Amino acid sequence: MVGLGSTEDVNNGVYHNGLNGGLEEKVDELRRLFGKVEGDPLRIVGVGAGAWGSVFTAMLQEAYGGLKGKVLIRIWRRPGRTVDRATAKHLFEVINSREDVLRRLIRRCAYLKYVEGRLGDRTLYADEILKDGFCLNMIDTPLCPLKVVTNLQEAVWDADIVINGLPSTETREVFEEINKYWKERITVPVIISLAKGVEAELGPEPRIITPTLMINRATRVPMENILYLGGPNIASEIYNKEYANARICGAEKWRKPLAKFLRQPHFIVWDNGDLVTHEIMGGLKNVYAIGAGMVAALTNESATSKSVYFAHCTSEMIFITHLLAEEPEKLAGPLLADTYVTLLKGRNAWYGQKLANEELSLEMGDSIKGKGMIQGVSAVKAFYELLSQSSLNVLNPEENKHVAPAELCPILKMLYRIMIIREYPALAILEALRDETMNDPRERIEIAQSHVYYRPSLLGQQP
């Protein structure tokens, strides 16, 4: 596999395997699109420093940070969040287990503060350690050092490309704040959203609100300039150069040059024009990942039980996809791949396991220390409440009557009753697998494929 060399190599302008010229060409193409002149760098800002947001920004810094004068890469996170002593102690152990990281910190005169933090003689802050390459949600994976800005106005006011690394639950609020700083802008920025979460808007017509739509409403940046990047990826594995792929979705003007710009030897980026349905599917798989974690914990990692769950949950996802996409078959590969990796190792599956094992409780909320926001929790609520609306009723041929789509999705319904209204314990997820009607999961798929269930209004589109 082709690598980019060490962070020091990249930042010193030394590139291996002939990649230097390719990187400059990709930067120059983007600079031309933004109308950049000599001496005016392309300004890229990551907003939000969770695991994926930090890794994504760090990958760009590692690849392009050495092109001084052409690219300026920064990341914003809120100031003030402290690192507790136990985490500081673990962080110190990680540092000392990695010779390259240890040497780097000593060279930067930053090592002593981690010694003091471990001893409790100094309080470390999340934004402080991020400058040294440590994301609080992923401290076992050291990143390259990042330029961290804690003042939001300073971070975004002149940004050309803004990367939304915020959870969907925080996107609207932060971008409404950003909009205040863009009042006097002449040029229109490009925004790449990494968020995988949704909200439901029930009136006047039921519809799904995605992070890109939240950003559009908050900033009035046209949808042509807002893109979504998603795919089957685990942040720490991608930063460690495990082979991965993703899709950037949106208007052709930006998605094709950005796909080239973001592509690296170990991280292949394709492009696609269908932004909204890809974005929604990214939120949908988080719903079923929580249930997968519950099933794994409750059955002692039974491969048979997990496969039964997979059969049922994928049939529900395919059914829901037919409501949301005119040509749902085109989404099958990306949807199932993203679902597969999330069920294997994602934070939502981890959360489901912890709930089922009673190591976490619902009262603790959906922002978990060391993991960040569990976006599947709000997605369960959004999808169930949306698909429970009588105006969306579909024909259930088994009973020859019209029902809300949620009634044909027993796992989604049970997750809602466990997690949102808290009617049942996690153990009840197993009941959703024991289909007393003896219906094969394929029958749900056949129902979807044999009836015209597509509802463009769910995406805010005209039929």
Other CB atoms closer than 10 Å to residue 221's CB: what's the count? Answer: 22
Comparing CA positions, the residue from 320, 46, 274 lying closest to residue 174 is 46
Element (H, E) at 292: helix 275-298
- Dist. CA 290–CA 418, nearest whole Å: 11
Catalytic, out of 26, 285, 354, 371 = 285
Joined together, the tokens standing for residue 129 give 């350690």
Beta strands in 39-195 (DSSP E): 42-47, 71-76, 82-83, 124-125, 148-149, 161-164, 190-193
Q: Which of 395, 381, 409 is nearest to 453 (CA)?
A: 395
Q: At 268, phi and psi to the nearest 5?
A: -90, 130
Residue 136's alpha-carbon distances to 55, 144, 441, in angstroms, are: 12, 14, 41
Maximum distance among all Cα pairs of the chain, rounded to whole angstroms: 73
Between CA 346 and CA 194, with CA 341 as vertex, the angle to 5 degrees is 70
Tokens of residue 134, six digits: 């440590």
Q: Does 68 participate in catalysis according to the annotation?
A: no
Q: Which helix (H) or strand (E) holds 199?
A: strand 199-201
C-alpha 212: how far from chain center: 12
Cα 396 to chain centroid distance, Å, stands at 34
Q: Could you tell me whether strands 244-249 and 226-230 are parallel, antiparallel, or unpaired per DSSP bridges?
A: antiparallel
What is residue 105's three-state secondary structure? helix
Long-range contacts of 30-36 (CB under 8 A, 24+ apart): 30/257, 30/258, 30/261, 31/70, 33/253, 33/254, 33/257, 34/160, 34/187, 35/187, 36/160
| Structure-block tokens of residue 391 | 């105006």
Catalytic residues: 285
